[in-house]
């Protein structure tokens, strides 16, 4: 059986290459998984409701491994990732496409605001563990957003608990992605290899943002989705795949679709970058998971 929107045949140079993807049960992440499976990659997907999306037939026909976990429970993510890394010790690509927009303040089982955990902390945790398994030509790619430019970060009031604003929180999580990508990038050097990328995929019609709304708000969001101009998830995946396949030694951190551009100047604020990094490590520890410190 063939995968939806996967028209690419297996390619010799992708056989024996392993990718980990988050957020691959829907939207952009799922389309990326389809592309990679179609090219013959070994694809490891961490997520929930996996069997609803990936049938036994797909698992049989492609190099697909599924690891059940919920991003709102870091221990479940740690268990799933341990299984992946026990089986696949060398990782060629890690794509982070997990994402959610919450209409109101909701804490995860780890006592962390949900958007912060799903959009950023899970990606941080997985990248920290994957870093040491990355092949010299390996890449870690975050699906980012231009919204990061409007983001601000105050570590004293990180979850906006008292006055929750869904969009402000979303912008904050996308800012955290680029701040962390900047930090991770400092741990990779030319000799050892490895590349970190953040790619804004453009506006993509996936229904993202409306999934946790109800009633009139949901209706308006869906109507807006039909009116706004955007690409399909498959087109966004093609953009990501092109950026990922650029020169392995490229030094550009942030891409707006296919164009390398500078990210927010906040990434030059070393104290902010370092403080977020230290806070993220602490959050993982408070959640009861051992997190590698790649900067040690």
The count of chain residues that interact with ligand NAP, using the rule CB under 6 A, is 28
Q: Is 171 in the site for ligand NAP (CB under 6 A)?
A: no
Closest distance to ligand NAP from the beta carbon of 124 (Å): 13
Q: Is position 150 an interface residue for ligand NAP (rule: CB under 6 A)?
A: no
Q: Where are the beta strands (DSSP E) in the chain?
A: 18-22, 42-47, 64-68, 91-96, 134-143, 195-200, 254-256, 259-260
Segment near ligand NAP (CB under 6 A), from 12-20, 21-29, 37-45, 131-139? 21-29
Residue among 208 and 293 whose Cβ is closer to ligand NAP:
208
113 lines the binding site for ligand NAP (CB under 6 A):
no
- CB-nearer residue toward ligand NAP: 39 or 97: 97
26 binds ligand NAP (CB under 6 A): yes
| Count of beta carbons in the 10 Å neighbourhood of residue 214 | 9
Contacts (Cβ under 8 Å, ≥6 apart) of 29: 21, 22, 23, 95, 97, 98, 143
Question: Using CA atoms, how far apart are residues 94 and 16, in angstroms rounded to an integer?
Answer: 15
In the set 14, 18, 20, 27, which binds ligand NAP (CB under 6 A)? 27
The candidate with the shortest Cα–Cα distance to 94, out of 239, 200, 194, 201, is: 194
Chain-centre distance of CA 77, in angstroms? 13
Residue nearest to ligand NAP (CB): 27
The contact mask relative to ligand NAP for 69-108 (x = CB under 6 A, - = no) is -xxx------------------------xxxx--------
The partner residues of 140 in beta bridges, in order of sequence, read 94, 196
Q: Are 3 and 32 in contact (CB under 8 A)?
A: no
82 touches 292 (CB < 8 A): no
Residue with tokens 């799903």: 118
Residue 208 interacts with ligand NAP (CB under 6 A): yes or no? yes
CB of 160 to ligand NAP, least distance (A): 17
What does the binding site for ligand NAP look like in residue numbers (CB under 6 A)? 23-29, 47-49, 70-72, 97-100, 118-119, 143, 145, 200-201, 203-204, 206, 208, 211
């Amino acid at each position: 059986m063939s995968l939806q929107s996967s028209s690419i045949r297996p390619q010799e140079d992708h056989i024996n290459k392993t990718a980990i993807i988050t957020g691959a049960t829907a939207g952009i992440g799922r389309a990326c998984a389809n592309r990679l499976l179609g090219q013959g990659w070994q694809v490891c997907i961490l997520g929930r409701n996996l069997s609803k999306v990936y049938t036994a037939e797909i698992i049989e026909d492609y190099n697909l491994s599924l690891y059940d976990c919920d991003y709102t429970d870091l221990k479940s993510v740690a268990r799933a990732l341990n299984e992946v890394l026990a089986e696949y010790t060398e990782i060629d690509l890690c794509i982070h496409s997990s994402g959610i927009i919450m209409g109101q303040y909701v804490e995860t089982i780890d006592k962390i605001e949900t958007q912060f955990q799903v959009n950023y902390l899970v990606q941080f945790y997985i990248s920290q563990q994957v870093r040491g398994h990355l092949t010299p030509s390996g890449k870690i790619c975050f699906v980012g957003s231009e919204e990061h430019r409007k983001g601000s970060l105050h570590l004293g009031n990180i979850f906006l608990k008292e006055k929750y604003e869904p969009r402000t929180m979303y912008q904050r999580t996308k800012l955290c992605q680029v701040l962390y990508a900047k930090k991770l990038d400092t741990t990779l050097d030319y000799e050892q290899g490895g590349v970190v990328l953040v790619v804004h995929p453009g506006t993509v019609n996936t229904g993202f943002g409306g999934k946790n709304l109800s009633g009139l708000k949901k209706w308006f969001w869906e109507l807006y989705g039909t009116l706004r101009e955007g690409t399909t998830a498959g087109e966004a995946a093609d953009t990501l795949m092109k950026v990922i396949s650029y020169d392995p030694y490229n030094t550009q951190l942030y891409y707006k679709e296919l164009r390398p551009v500078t990210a927010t100047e906040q990434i030059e604020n070393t104290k902010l970058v370092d403080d977020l990094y230290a806070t993220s490590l602490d959050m993982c520890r408070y959640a009861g998971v051992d997190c590698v410190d790649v900067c040690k």
